[in-house]
Every structure is written in structure tokens, then in C-alpha cells.
Structure 1
Amino acid sequence: MVDLSTLPTPQVIEEIDYEALVARQKETFQTLWEAVRIANPDMDLPQYDVALLRTDPVMIIIEANAYREMLERVRINNAARANLLGKATGADLDNIAADHGVTRLTGESDDALRERVVLADQGRSTAGPEEWYEFHARSVDVDIRDAKVYRPGSGPEIEIAILTTSGGGTPGAPLLAAITAAVTDPAVRSINDVLTVVAAVKTTVNVAAQVWLLPDTPMSVFDGLSAGLTAALASEGGIGFDVNRAWITARLMPAGVSKVVLTTPSTDVVMDEFSAAAFGTISLTFMGRSR
């Protein structure tokens, strides 16, 4: 799937520098003033450096005009973003999605909606590609965080692995049934495909670690480590994400933690590209304080 976040910033969206706008308008004024002074020697106009005094009325007008120009450029930038799938948000994104035949699910984030729009475009094929089933699976419920489509063998059997945002990533039976109904609908399923919807989470990872804090670190930092580790897997992990020991240790060492000795798992937990891991028990032992 196309990762819209990796696209370069479009040239139509410009970098805005207020100080540069002020400097340009000051230079324009100085040039025009000097031209008028030279063209009218009988008026005995003095050389005039507008930058000498911030409270000069001309300087105040220049800054006001530069600020007005900056706001106009910001408005143009925002209008450009509103017409780009990778940049639009809110109602602007809803309108772009509608052009692709996609409607936002209740509570669906902008990022999730963008991903479904890309899947909808990539999946429109009479061959029934992976993206086609992934789009329809993810369109069932906003709780679906990810879906991966694969063939476990060489036959017509296709499995769709589902990862949710709730329940530790494991979908319940009603959600699996709803997804199955959606992807096996005659208007969706390719006639030769045999579809099975399964939970992506196939591995439970238990964590045990000893933790030392720095001398001045409040105990609230230790108390929040377990929840922080769980949140990190929810945001960074997903289908195909390896739960490595180094990754766990790093997430258990926010500011204020001096040392972590990870005892479980004893090895990296490597996942295949269609499976996901979830944390089971997280047992952290406070060992004291050290530098």
C-alpha cells in the first residue's frame, strides 16, 4: 500500500518566513524611496533608512502588510492541503474520500480513512487483489486497526488476519462474523476464492524485568512503565511486528529510569508477516535507585 507520509511536500505548499517578507518589503520601500528622491532633486528629500527605528510609522505599515501577506500565504497553503489526500483533514478529507467512493466510519481517524481510500483505489480489480479484501474488511468497523490478506497454500483458500485496537488486538467472534459476511458477499468475493477470517494475534508475550530509578525520579515513573509498554505496542506494533528484547528494554527506559534488566522473554519474539503479538503478563520489579 502507498505510504502517503513518505511523499515529499508538494511544491505548491511553500515555506513561510515572516521575517523574510518584512525584509523584502523594506527593501522594496527603500528602492522606491531612493528612486523618488533621485527623480525629484528639487524636493530635497533625505536619504531614509526605515530600519533605523522599529516605531517608525513606515516600519509599522511594512510589518502590518507583511503579516497580512503571511496570512494570505497560509490560507493558500491550507487550500492546497485541503485538496491532497495525504494532507487533507476533517471535512476536507471526507470530501476527497467521497470522490473515491469511500465514507468515513463513525469515530474513524483521518489516518485510517486515508489508508482505506488508498486500499479502495488499489483494490478495484476484477482479479480480486489483496487490497480489495483488505478494504472491505477494514470498512466493517472502526475498531479494526489492520487487516492482512494472504494465501496459506497454493489453492484457492485465502485467510484474512484481523488486528483490533481494543481487546489487546484480538477481535471478538461477532466482529469476525461481521467481517466474514462482508468479504464473502457475492458483490465482493471473487468466485474462486475460499475466504476465512482469523485473528492476527497468535503469540502472547509475557514480560518480566528488574527496574532501577535515578535518585530523584518519582515513583510515578515506575508505576507508569507497564501501561507505557502496552501503549507502545499498540501504537508501534502491528501485524508482522517483531517484539525484540532491545525494543522492550528501550520502552521501559523513559527519562528517570537508570537501569533495566529484562529476564522475560529470553529471546526476541519474531512474527511472520501475517501474525501479531500481544502482551500477556507484565511483571516489573522495583530494585531501588542507582546512578
Structure 2
Amino acid sequence: MTTAATLPPPSVIEPLDFERILATSKAHLLGHYPEAADTLALESSPLTKLLQTFSYRELLYRARVNDAARAHLLAFATGGDLDHLAAMFGLTRMAGEDDERLRLRLQLRIAALAGQGTREHYELTALTASTNVRAATARQSRPGAVHVVLWLHNPSLGTSAQVVQALNQDSARMLGVTVTVGTAQPQPIDIRAHIWRSANASPTLLADLQAHLQTQLAARAALGSPIARSWITTLLHIDGVAAVHYPSDTAPPPTIVLGADEYPTLGSVQLIDAGVL
């Protein structure tokens, strides 16, 4: 899905520069009152302070205009502004739902307007059935059949039954289409690496690396998306790491290929202190 990071900066958002606003204000004043040039050359003059105050207030006003513009852009809207955008398409925030999940559902809702039975329609229905659904993917398993894979935060809550019920409502399922639901399975990624430290490395470097891997993989993980060993190497190069070497080609392999019903998790991790480089 499109995010603010993948879009070019919107033209409606103006870069803010106090010094440029101040210079423009001075030039405008001198155009009408050139006799003030000597006074404006003095940083301590009351007229200079007045223009600085005016320019700062102008900066605050322009910042407010920028904020108002962002509030109407799906990639940037947050909180109540995002709620109002969602309401335009018949969506409301679910209990405990954060901005990113609501933004995802809204994007799916917009894409699903093409017609009932689209991939986005089924994925939106699954996400709306329960906030326990972290992600969902829909595909045509055979003609006349749709299979939806759920990635659940907590697999033991009986969420699959809720999703099945939601997907089989008359308003959600096309006539003549069979909809089935499955649960995604974790694919552990084993990592065994020799870590060379720099001279100023933290004494807790290996423990810090372990925590960093866990956090970053959890944030990056996606259903069916492959993980490259080169990306894991970048995660291991935090401050204090001089070099990383993998003693085998299997932990991790060059590319970890995941099925459509699999998501990556951290498996066995062995970080071996190779000394100072």
C-alpha cells in the first residue's frame, strides 16, 4: 500500500524558512519606505524587532496552513482528521485501532469501490471483522472460490470463526463464490554470525543486537514477502559492529522465500563474539 515515504513531497506543503520570510518582509517594507534602510541594518532597532515578530507570526500561520493541508491527505492524516477521511467512505475506527491500521483499511476500502469480489474487498472485510487480524491476503484458489489467509496477533481467540461469518454475509460474498479462511504460519529465520567489534563497542553489544533484530524483523515482517540475507546484515551493523561474517549459507540463506500463508519470525540466533577488528 502507498505510504508517505513512497510518495513525492506534496506541492501544497510549503517548506518553511524564517529567514526567507524575514528577508521578504524587509524587502517589501523598503520598497514602500526606503528611508528605513539604515534603521533595519541595526539588529537592535525596534523596527527590526517588529519585523522579526511579524515574520515569526507569519511562520506560525504558514505552519498551520501546512497542517491543514496534511489533514486532508490520506498518507499524512492522523487522529480525528483520519477518522473524518474514513467516514467519507463509510468506515469508522475500531476499538483500539491505531492510525496505520485504519489507514490500511481505508486504502483497501477505496480500492474495493471497483466492485464487490475484489481482493481488496475480501481483505478489508477480514480486517474489519476483528482487530486481532494483523494482516490478510485474499486469492482465487480455483474458479468460483476465494481463500483468505489471516495473520493473527493471538491465534487462540477464535478470530477465524468471526472472519468466516463476516465474509459469508450477503453483503460481503458474491453469489456463487465459496469463501474459505486459513491461518498464516510463522517461518523461523535462523541466524548464526561472527561479530567483530570496534574498539569503542558497548559491552552489551551482542544483547543489543539480539533485541534490535527482534524489533526490526517484527516491524518489517509481511505475509509472503521474502527476506534477503543482505537486509539482515544491515540490521547487524549497528554502532560498535566492525564486521559481520556468516560461517554457513543456511543461517540465514541468501534469500528466505516465504509462501503466501507464511510470515517471518526470529528463530535460533547465535551471535558469536569474534573479537576487536
**For the residues of structure 2 that align with 1:7 and 1:250, how far apart are their CA atoms?**
24
Indicate yes or no: 2:213 matched with 1:229: yes
Equivalent in 146, 154, 175 of residue 135 of structure 2:
146
Match of 1:220 in 2: 204
Q: Tell whether the 8 Å contact from 1:119 to 1:132 is kept in structure 2 after alignment.
A: yes
Equivalent residue runs for 1:98-247 within 5 Å: 98-152=87-141, 154-164=142-152, 166=153, 171-172=155-156, 174-201=158-185, 203-247=187-231
Q: Which runs of 4+ in 1 moved over 6 A?
A: none
Residue pair 1:150, 1:274 contacting (<8 A) in 2 also: no
Cα drift, residue 215 of structure 1: 2.4
Return the alpha-carbon distance in structure 1 between the equivalents of residues 29 and 44 of structure 2: 16
Tell me if structure 1 keeps the 8 A contact 2:125–2:167: yes
Per-residue deviation, 1:2: 4.7
Residues 1:233 and 1:70: Cα distance change in structure 2 (over 3 Å): same
Q: How many residues align?
A: 274
Using structure 1 for the length normalisation, give the TM-score.
Answer: 0.85
Paired AA for residue 11 in structure 1: S
Q: Does the CA-based 8 Å contact 2:183-2:261 persist in structure 1?
A: no
Q: Is 1:261 aligned to 2:261, yes or no?
A: no
- Structural mapping, 1:22-171, within 5 Å: 22-34=22-34, 48-152=37-141, 154-164=142-152, 166=153, 171=155
Q: CA deviation at 1:259?
A: 2.3
Unaligned runs of 5+ in 2: none
1:112 is displaced (CA, Å) by 1.7
Distance, in Å, in 1 between the alignment partners of 2:37 and 2:191 is 72
TM-superposed CA distance for 1:120, in Å, is 1.0
Give the match for residue 276 of structure 2. 290
CA RMSD in angstroms comes to: 2.2
Cα deviation, residue 72, structure 1: 1.1
CA contact (8 A) 1:100 1:120 kept: yes
Give CA-to-partner distance per residue, 1:106-131, whole Å, 9 cap, x none. Answer: 22221221111111122135441110
Is the contact made by 1:213 and 1:258 (CA closer than 8 Å) also made in structure 2?
yes
Are residues 127 and 76 of structure 1, via their aligned partners in 2, closer, same or farther at CA, if it must alter by over 3 Å?
closer
Task: For residue 83 of structure 1, report the CA deviation from its aligned partner.
Answer: 2.2
Alpha-carbon shift at residue 246 of structure 1 (Å): 1.6
2:17 counterpart residue number: 17
Tell me the equivalent position of 1:43: none
* Residue 11 (structure 1) shift: 2.8
- Structure 1 residue 70, shift from structure 2 partner: 1.1
> 3-state DSSP class of the match of 1:49?
helix
Deviation, structure 1 residue 173: 5.8
Identify unmatched segments of 5+ residues in structure 1. 38-46
Deviation (angstroms), 1:24: 0.8
**Cα gap change, 1:11/1:252 in structure 2, threshold over 3 Å: closer, same or farther?**
closer
Q: CA deviation at 1:278?
A: 2.2
TM-score normalised by structure 2 residue count: 0.89
Q: Which of structures 1 and 2 has the bigger CA Rg?
A: 1
1:234-273 per-residue CA deviation (whole Å, 9 max, x = no partner) reads 1122123212222222212211112222231344211245
Q: 1:173 to 1:204 in 2, by over 3 A?
A: farther
1:281 paired to 2:272: no
CA deviations 1:78-108 (Å, max 9, x no partner) are 1222222222111111111111111112222
